[in-house]
C-alpha cells in the first residue's frame, strides 16, 4: 500500500517538502499527523522518508534495533565519522552498541547519579547567586553555561576545573555550528572557510583535549573527591567478559554525552521556567513546596512531588527531541505499509504526547495531571525508548530538579517586557535566540503583565483563546 502524504511540488518535487521539514520539523510533522493518518510520507508515495505516529509504531520502530538503526551513523559525513567523535552510543548500532551500552550502564544508574548531587547543587548555587535581582539576562544562555559546567566537572572532576572549562568552551564552539547542519551534511568538503572545516577543527581540538586528560588519568592522576567522576567510572567499567573502553571509545562516548546531555538539560530548564512564568498559579503552588534557600547555600536534594510533576509536564509538552529518526536497514512493514530498505522512518514524541485519550486537555500545562496519569513507555517517552533510550536520564533528572530547586529557592523568573518565545529545532528543540528574563525575589508580587509572544502559543495553550495550535484542539 502506497503511503499517503502531500503531493510533491510541481517543479521541485520532494525537495520542496524536504526543505519545509528542515526549516520547521515540528510544524511539518503536525500537518502530516493531522492530514494523513498514522503513517505518512514526506510526500505522497515517498519511499525515502516515512512518518509513523502513535504508541504502537513507537514500539515497533524504537525497539527493533536490528531492523531500525540510528540515523546518525549514516548522516554524519565520513571525515567526522573517522574522528573519535563518531564513536559514541548515539552513533552505534547492533552488537557494537549493545556491548558499549553494557559497559557504560553502571556509570549511569540512579545511585551513580546521586553521587554527583552535592557538586551539582553547589555549581547551581554559584550560578544563581551571581544573578542581580531586577536586571534582565538571557535565560537560555545562562542555562547552557550552567549545564555545560555541571557536565564538565561531573565528567572530569573538580581537580581539573580549568581544563574542564576549556573543554566547555570547545563544546560551545561545536554547538554554535549546529545551525550549519544542512550545509555541513550536503557540502562535506574540507576547504578553508567552510562550516565543515570549522567543525572538523573544533572536533579535532576537542578530541585532543579529551585524549590528554585520559592519558594523564591513566598515568596515575587520580581523583581526590569523595565520588569518582564519570570519566573514572567509564575507565573502570567492564562487561561480563572483562572488556572495557579503549581510549578512542572513551573520547567518543564522552563527546557524545557532553553535547547531547548538556543540550537536553539546558533546553528543558529554560522551557520549564518559561512555562511557570506563564502560569502564576502553578508557580505559586510550587514555590509553597520548595524551601526558601539563603544566598550561597546549596539546595536540599529532597525534592517535593510537585517539582517532579512540573518537570514531567514540561517534558510532555516540549520534549527535547520532538522527533526521532531511524533507518530501516532491511525491508519491513509498519502497519499496512511496506517500508523499503534504507527508508528513513520518523516517530514523533511531540505528537504522541498530545493524544487526548492519554492526556486530556493535551495543550494545557497541567502538572497536577501527573497525580493520576500512568502512560505506558510508548505513550510518554521524553528520553526515548528501546535500545537507544537516553542512558543519562537519571543524571538529567537529578540535575534539572536540583537546578530548579536552586532557582526557585531564591527567585521567581519573569519574562522581560516584550519577550518573544519561539522554537528553534535541530536535533533538539530549544527556545529561539535570546530570551530576556528578570529574576525577582520569591515574595515579590507578580508583575501586571508577564505574557510572552512567539510561537510558543502554537505548542501550548497559554491563554485559553482560540488560536492555531498546529492542528490540535
Find out whether 16 and 46 touch, Cβ atoms under 8 Å. no
How does residue 71 score in pLDDT terms, banded at 50, 70 and 90?
A: confident
Statement: residue 297 has pLDDT above 90: no
What average pLDDT does this structure show over 453-472? 89
Q: Mean pLDDT check: name the lowest of 192-201, 367-376, 379-388, 413-422.
A: 192-201
What average pLDDT does this structure show over 387-410? 96
Statement: residue 441 has pLDDT above 60: yes
Strand partners, 320: none
Complete DSSP assignment for 190-253: --TT-HHHHHHHHHHHHHHHHHHHHHHHHTT----SSS--HHHHHHH---TTS----HHHHHHH
CA pair distance 407, 299, nearest whole angstrom = 9
Q: Mean pLDDT check: name the lowest of 194-208, 298-312, 350-364, 404-418.
A: 194-208
Find the helix packing angle between 117-128 and 393-408, rounded to 10°: 40
Residue 135 Cα to chain centre, angstroms = 28
pLDDT of 83: 56
Find out whether 44 and 3 touch, Cβ atoms under 8 Å. yes
Find the helix packing angle between 161-176 and 139-156, rounded to 10°: 130
Please indicate, yes or no, if residue 15 is contained in any of the structural domains.
Answer: no
Statement: residue 171 has pLDDT above 80: yes
Find out whether 17 and 8 touch, Cβ atoms under 8 Å. yes
Which residues does the annotation place in the binding site? 390
CA pair distance 57, 194, nearest whole angstrom = 39
- What is the residue whose three cell numbers read 486530556? 360
Q: Mean pLDDT check: name the lowest of 259-268, 351-360, 395-404.
A: 259-268
The more confident residue out of 304 and 190 is 304
* Residue count of the chain: 473
pLDDT of 207: 87
The more confident residue out of 132 and 82 is 132
Q: Which of 200-209, 247-256, 355-364 has the highest mean pLDDT?
A: 355-364
CA pair distance 315, 308, nearest whole angstrom = 11
What average pLDDT does this structure show over 302-329? 97
Please indicate, yes or no, if residue 352 is contained in any of the structural domains.
Answer: yes
Residue 367: what are its φ and ψ, rounded to 5°? -55, -30
The more confident residue out of 259 and 313 is 313
Please indicate, yes or no, if residue 33 is contained in any of the structural domains.
Answer: no
Please indicate, yes or no, if residue 342 is contained in any of the structural domains.
Answer: yes
Q: Which three cell numbers stand for residue 335?
A: 502497519
CATH of the domain at 455: 1.10.630.10
Statement: residue 299 has pLDDT above 90: no
Provide the percentage of residues in the chain whose pLDDT is more than 70.
92
Please indicate, yes or no, if residue 71 is contained in any of the structural domains.
Answer: yes
The more confident residue out of 182 and 147 is 147
Q: Mean pLDDT check: name the lowest of 80-94, 137-151, 439-453.
A: 80-94
CA pair distance 5, 267, nearest whole angstrom = 31
pLDDT of 258: 84
Output DSSP code: residue 353: T
The more confident residue out of 264 and 227 is 264
Q: Average pLDDT over the chain, rounded to whole?
A: 89
For β-strands 39-41 and 49-52, DSSP reports them as antiparallel
Best CA proximity match to 181, nearest among 425, 404, 365, 406? 425
Statement: residue 256 has pLDDT above 90: no
Please indicate, yes or no, if residue 7 is contained in any of the structural domains.
Answer: no
Environment class of 436 (CB within 10 Å of its CB; exposed 0-12, middle 13-18, buried 19+): middle
Statement: residue 319 has pLDDT above 80: yes
Residue 158 lies in domain? 54-459
Best CA proximity match to 152, nearest among 137, 172, 138? 172
How does residue 86 score in pLDDT terms, banded at 50, 70 and 90?
A: low
For β-strands 344-348 and 49-52, DSSP reports them as parallel
CA pair distance 53, 29, nearest whole angstrom = 10
- What is the residue whose three cell numbers read 531492523? 67
The more confident residue out of 318 and 202 is 318
Best CA proximity match to 38, nearest among 316, 355, 340? 355
Count of domains observed in the chain = 1
pLDDT digits (tens, 9 = 90+) for 87-113: 678 888 999 999 999 999 988 999 888
Which residues does the annotation place in the binding site for heme? 390
CA pair distance 157, 171, nearest whole angstrom = 17
How does residue 340 score in pLDDT terms, banded at 50, 70 and 90?
A: very high
What average pLDDT does this structure show over 234-242? 88
Q: What region, left, alpha or beta, does residue 210 occupy, with left being phi > 0 and alpha being psi -120 to 50 degrees?
A: alpha
Considering the entire predicted model, what is its pTM? Answer: 0.93
Residue 202 Cα to chain centre, angstroms = 21
Q: Which three cell numbers stand for residue 208?
A: 585532543
17 sits in which H/E element: helix 14-23
How does residue 178 score in pLDDT terms, banded at 50, 70 and 90?
A: low
Please indicate, yes or no, if residue 17 is contained in any of the structural domains.
Answer: no
Q: Which residues contact 263 (CB under 8 A, 6 or more apart)?
A: 144, 175, 320, 427, 428, 430
Find out whether 62 and 358 touch, Cβ atoms under 8 Å. no
Please indicate, yes or no, if residue 455 is contained in any of the structural domains.
Answer: yes
- What is the residue whose three cell numbers read 550549519? 180
Amino acid at each position: 500500500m502506497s503511503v499517503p502524504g502531500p503531493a510533491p511540488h510541481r517543479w521541485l518535487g520532494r525537495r520542496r517538502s524536504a526543505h519545509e521539514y528542515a526549516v520547521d520539523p515540528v510544524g511539518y510533522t503536525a500537518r502530516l499527523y493531522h492530514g494523513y493518518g498514522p503513517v505518512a510520507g514526506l510526500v505522497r508515495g515517498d519511499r525515502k522518508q516515512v512518518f509513523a505516529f502513535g504508541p504502537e509504531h513507537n514500539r515497533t520502530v524504537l525497539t527493533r534495533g536490528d531492523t531500525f538503526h540510528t540515523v546518525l551513523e549514516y548522516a554524519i559525513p565520513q571525515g567526522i565519522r573517522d574522528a573519535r567523535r563518531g564513536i559514541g552510543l548515539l552513533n552505534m548500532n547492533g552488537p557494537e552498541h549493545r556491548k558499549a551500552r553494557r559497559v557504560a550502564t553502571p556509570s549511569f544508574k540512579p545511585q551513580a547519579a546521586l553521587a554527583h548531587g552535592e557538586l551539582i547543587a553547589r555549581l547551581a548555587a554559584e550560578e544563581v547567586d551571581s544573578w542581580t535581582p531586577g536586571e534582565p539576562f538571557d535565560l537560555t544562555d545562562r542555562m547552557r553555561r550552567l549545564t555545560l559546567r555541571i557536565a564538565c566537572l561531573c565528567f572530569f572532576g573538580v581537580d581539573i576545573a580549568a581544563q574542564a572549562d576549556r573543554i566547555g568552551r570547545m563544546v560551545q564552539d561545536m554547538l554554535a555550528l549546529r545551525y550549519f547542519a544542512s550545509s555541513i551534511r550536503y557540502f562535506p568538503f574540507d576547504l578553508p572557510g567552510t562550516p565543515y572545516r570549522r567543525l572538523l577543527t573544533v572536533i579535532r581540538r576537542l578530541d585532543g583535549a579529551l585524549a590528554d586528560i585520559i592519558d594523564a588519568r591513566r598515568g596515575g592522576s587520580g581523583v581526590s573527591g569523595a565520588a569518582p567522576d564519570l570519566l573514572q567510572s567509564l575507565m573502570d567499567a567492564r562487561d561480563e567478559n572483562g572488556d572495557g573502553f579503549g581510549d578512542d571509545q572513551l573520547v567518543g562516548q564522552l563527546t557524545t554525552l557532553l553535547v547531547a546531555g548538556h543540550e537536553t538539560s539546558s533546553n528543558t530548564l529554560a522551557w520549564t521556567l518559561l512555562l511557570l512564568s506563564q502560569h502564576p498559579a502553578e508557580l505559586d503552588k510550587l514555590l509553597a513546596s520548595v524551601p526558601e534557600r539563603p544566598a550561597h547555600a546549596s539546595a536540599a536534594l529532597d525534592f517535593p512531588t510537585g517539582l517532579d510533576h512540573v518537570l514531567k509536564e514540561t517534558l510532555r509538552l516540549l520534549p527535547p527531541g520532538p522527533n526521532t529518526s531511524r533507518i530501516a536497514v532491511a525491508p519491513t512493514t509498519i502497519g499496512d505499509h511496506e517500508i523499503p530498505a534504507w527508508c528513513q522512518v520518523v516517530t514523533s514524541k511531540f505528537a504522541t504526547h498530545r493524544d487526548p485519550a492519554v492526556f486530556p486537555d493535551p495543550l494545557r500545562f497541567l502538572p497536577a495531571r501527573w497525580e493520576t496519569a500512568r502512560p505506558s513507555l510508548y505513550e510518554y517517552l521524553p528520553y526515548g525508548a528501546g535500545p537507544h533510550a537516553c542512558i543519562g536520564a537519571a543524571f538529567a533528572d537529578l540535575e534539572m530538579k536540583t537546578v530548579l530547586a536552586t532557582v526557585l529557592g531564591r527567585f521567581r523568573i519573569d519574562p522581560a517586557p516584550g519577550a518573544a518565545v519561539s522554537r528553534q529545532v535541530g536535533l533538539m528543540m530549544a527556545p529561539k535566540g535570546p530570551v530576556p528574563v528578570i529574576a525577582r525575589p520569591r515574595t515579590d508580587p507578580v508583575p501586571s503583565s508577564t505574557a510572552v509572544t512567539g510561537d510558543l502559543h502554537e505548542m501550548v495553550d497559554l491563554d485559553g483563546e482560540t488560536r492555531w495550535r498546529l492542528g490540535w484542539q
